[in-house]
Chains A and B, each alone.
Chain A
Amino acid sequence: MRMDIFLIIIGAALVTFIPRVLPLMLLSRVNLPEWGMRWLNYVPIAVMAALVAQALFIQDEHFSLSSNNLELIAALPTFWVAVKTRSLLGTVVVGMISLMVLRFFL
């Protein structure tokens, strides 16, 4: 294994590991105030919405709301299936197939 690649992987693993475990380890010792709990309650919604927005609206570092943004079009049936079926697997499958079909025909 190449030394530089080895060091990159070790470094990347460390900076990924620490943010994963630190809050769980520390916040289990300290009691959060009520407003802190309320704040944390919205974190998952905010993180996931932000990641979805980046995936759908940003193409090549530019904002895209045009009809050739196939990801955005594929997101419509994906959202619909998520709401209707409440199935994660169904959502992922419909999402991938939608985009595959769009790319095939457009």
Chain B
Amino acid sequence: MNLETARIDSHAAPEHEDSFIKGVKDCLPTLLGYLSIGFAAGVVEKTAGLTIPEIAMMSIILYAGSAQFIAAGMIAAGSTASSIVITILFVNLRHLLLSAALSPYFRHLTPLRNLLIGSLLTDETFGVAITESAKKNKISEKWMHGLNITAYLNWILANLAGAFLGQWISNPEKLGLDFALPAMFIGLLVLTILSRSKYAMDIIVGLIAMLIAIVVSLVWSASMGVIAATIAASTIGMVVEKSK
């Protein structure tokens, strides 16, 4: 192996690394989604009786749409602290899989730098990052921070805006605000499949995941539905691809 291939084989310092600003720009298409979901979450949190400082703290250190919706709902329903935390743990276990899926692209970084990337990981930034990785086969660290921090700041702003304006909005569903999250997942799913050109396998895995998610959600719980569907459908995809 000559020096040239050795350098390409190691993951260190690719020549044209995408910049922080490029990450900010690539986050822009998701911003409306963040704004509407964050806004809707803020409205729901306010109507659940949370104060502005509490909502601010939630969006800053929790920073997870699904978890914040669940927390607001369960606090309003008078659930115990431990049951709220355990429910959120289950819902967010899917981050294990997202974080693991990104790990090959950041293998050259120290654990601390990986921690910084992971701490702001969301379904949406993951979707954008994995679409990027399908195009370029690598993800730049600076680009990832640009993407993550833009999404994070927007989330906090949208959440607080929703909290402030929440008192005047009686019915956010009338505006279709609650569909921002599913629509974004539809977009990310389609974009990911289109970008990797192994349509047949991806669509089969996707349909299997949908089926399992529905069945497990109905007989067990929604969060277990996502986890079971992810593990089973990915395993089927792995096995079928190998045998082909």
CB distance from A82 to the nearest CB of B (A): 4
- The A1-49 residues at the B interface (CB cut-off 8 A) are 1-2, 4-13, 15-17, 19-25, 27-29, 32, 35, 37-49
Most chain A CB neighbours (cut-off 10 Å) among B85, B217, B241: B85
Q: Chain A interface: which of B12-20, B154-162, B185-193?
A: B185-193
Asked if residues A49 and B207 are in contact (CB atoms below 8 Å), the reply is yes
Most chain A CB neighbours (cut-off 10 Å) among B176, B189, B206: B176
Tell yes or no: B30 within 8 A of A by CB.
Answer: yes
| From B58, B190, B233, B241, contact of A91 by CB (8 A) | B190
User: Which residues from A are CB-within-8-Å of B126?
Assistant: 44
B: interface residue count bin: 35 or more
Q: Mark B94-108, 1 if CB is under 8 A from A, else 0.
A: 111111111110111
For the complex, count residues of A whose C-beta is within 8 A of B: 75
User: Which residues from A are CB-within-8-Å of B106?
Assistant: 24, 28
Asked if residues B95 and A96 are in contact (CB atoms below 8 Å), the reply is no
Asked if residues A52 and B182 are in contact (CB atoms below 8 Å), the reply is yes
Tell yes or no: B44 within 8 A of A by CB.
Answer: no
Nearest residue, chain B, Cβ from A95: B183
Asked if residues A20 and B95 are in contact (CB atoms below 8 Å), the reply is yes
Nearest residue, chain A, Cβ from B62: A13
- The B123-157 residues at the A interface (CB cut-off 8 A) are 123, 126-128, 130
Asked if residues B205 and A49 are in contact (CB atoms below 8 Å), the reply is yes
* 17 extra A-B contacts, CB within 8 A, seeds A21-B114, A49-B229, A99-B179: A8-B75, A8-B81, A8-B84, A9-B57, A12-B84, A13-B61, A16-B63, A20-B95, A20-B98, A28-B103, A41-B101, A44-B130, A45-B193, A48-B185, A74-B179, A91-B184, A95-B187
